[in-house]
Structure 1
């Protein structure tokens, strides 16, 4: 398989570069390989809890993966970019530091009253009160925006609830469907391609989750590489019509 066929890579993180707190041993070698061959890449993650700086530090310190903040594009950054285009800047957030910082940097005001937009991401300190405030605001006319659809996150414990599970709760209580921003949606993919400065035909999307990473490629005309180190198994692929462009057991299998 010719890894150098592509001029750029979009690379998922959790389940692809690491698994929760556990390293994936092939990941540093994969990134070194791209760097050695001067192939640009962008870490593209649906996790909205951390800033690009924090993600880069984590990659280097915990997993020995070279990264700078400029190498990281999160669903928080894409969501903030989307909200900035809307009318009104008063935002109620279910989410953590990375999402709040991205929205504030985009000119939004984080509020609990007179809400224009409700933005929902992963929140490990979720409370009933937050869900209640979000649900009422949406029913009163605030727009409903969600960072991503991931119902689960793969970590060292197993599959734990993701942002999509929280979004589903709010959706059920309001009977309003959110606008999703993260993978596999077109907004984050278009933004990522612009950041790389490459056409969709020149890029490979690499990830472990068929429902987000692989569909992000399939739905947006980008070739895909499914790595079987995280969420999706070979057994899961028997139930889908559109298959990944390539499938590998580990990233060590992806070489010239």
Structure 2
């Protein structure tokens, strides 16, 4: 792997910084060092339920200090995408505060009367009535958008149906597949890079999943690092037709990459 200067960092949240709402060892030091070195970074999540302020509070409860402006969610990426596609449009939204707040801030009107889009995100309580409304609106011509394709989400009692599963139900009923904005769509990576005013050639995506984080980073032209503290195990990597530039046991293993090199310049990501 060749040396390359790194000027910005994107990283997944669950499985990289936290696991079951507990900070992964080394994550606090990693974030502190990024801040001390004035290195731009964003924490990414496909979870559309929470606002950045909510997530920042949850991370603080886990012992991690992440400013809300350094959190990028699939809800924010979806709202920005729709604003760029159709400014001041309208949408019927299934989701929680993270999504509805982002849509309002993007200038969108929430309505169930001939909306431009049906936007599906995560919620703890999917309503059969609202899903039925979504099906009827899509059948009548509204465009179908989903924040992310994740089929399930975690809970203390086991997996819960998430956006991808409910989207499949709606697709089965309407014949219309959604456009997914979140990972693994590289659009989410590019919107995050634009937020940082960073370039893919000098940015890194750190994730714990080969099928979302790594492939999205690769398709966005970024350097990719897989950490083994989340979903993808070391023995699973070779099953994929692509690979990360680097595999690390955890985020703690990347701390040395942020230390000043002997000549005073930042190190690249070579090994």
Query: TM-score w.r.t. structure 1 length?
Result: 0.91
- Provide Cα deviations, 1:34-68, integer angstroms capped at 9, x if missing partner: 223332211121111111111112212x1211111
| Cα pair distance change 1:214/1:159, threshold 3 Å | farther
Count of residue correspondences: 255
Alignment of 1:141-220 (within 5 A): 141-154=141-154, 159-220=159-220
| Cα pair distance change 1:194/1:44, threshold 3 Å | same
Paired with 2:192 and 2:98, the residues of 1 have a C-alpha distance of 18
Paired with 1:123 and 1:154, the residues of 2 have a C-alpha distance of 12
Q: Would you say the 8 A contact 1:152–1:159 is kept in 2? A: yes
Paired with 2:2 and 2:250, the residues of 1 have a C-alpha distance of 15
- Provide Cα deviations, 1:47-99, integer angstroms capped at 9, x if missing partner: 11111111112212x12111112111111111111112344722111111110
- Provide Cα deviations, 1:163-188, integer angstroms capped at 9, x if missing partner: 22222222222221111111221322
Paired with 1:170 and 1:102, the residues of 2 have a C-alpha distance of 23
Paired with 2:154 and 2:202, the residues of 1 have a C-alpha distance of 29
Paired with 2:102 and 2:115, the residues of 1 have a C-alpha distance of 18
Where does residue 130 of structure 2 map in the other structure? 130
| Cα pair distance change 1:216/1:253, threshold 3 Å | same
> Over alpha carbons, which structure has the higher Rg?
2
- Provide Cα deviations, 1:115-150, integer angstroms capped at 9, x if missing partner: 221001111110211211111111110000011112
| Cα pair distance change 1:132/1:3, threshold 3 Å | farther
Paired with 1:66 and 1:16, the residues of 2 have a C-alpha distance of 14
| Cα pair distance change 1:35/1:2, threshold 3 Å | farther
Where does residue 100 of structure 1 map in the other structure? 100
Paired with 2:64 and 2:4, the residues of 1 have a C-alpha distance of 20
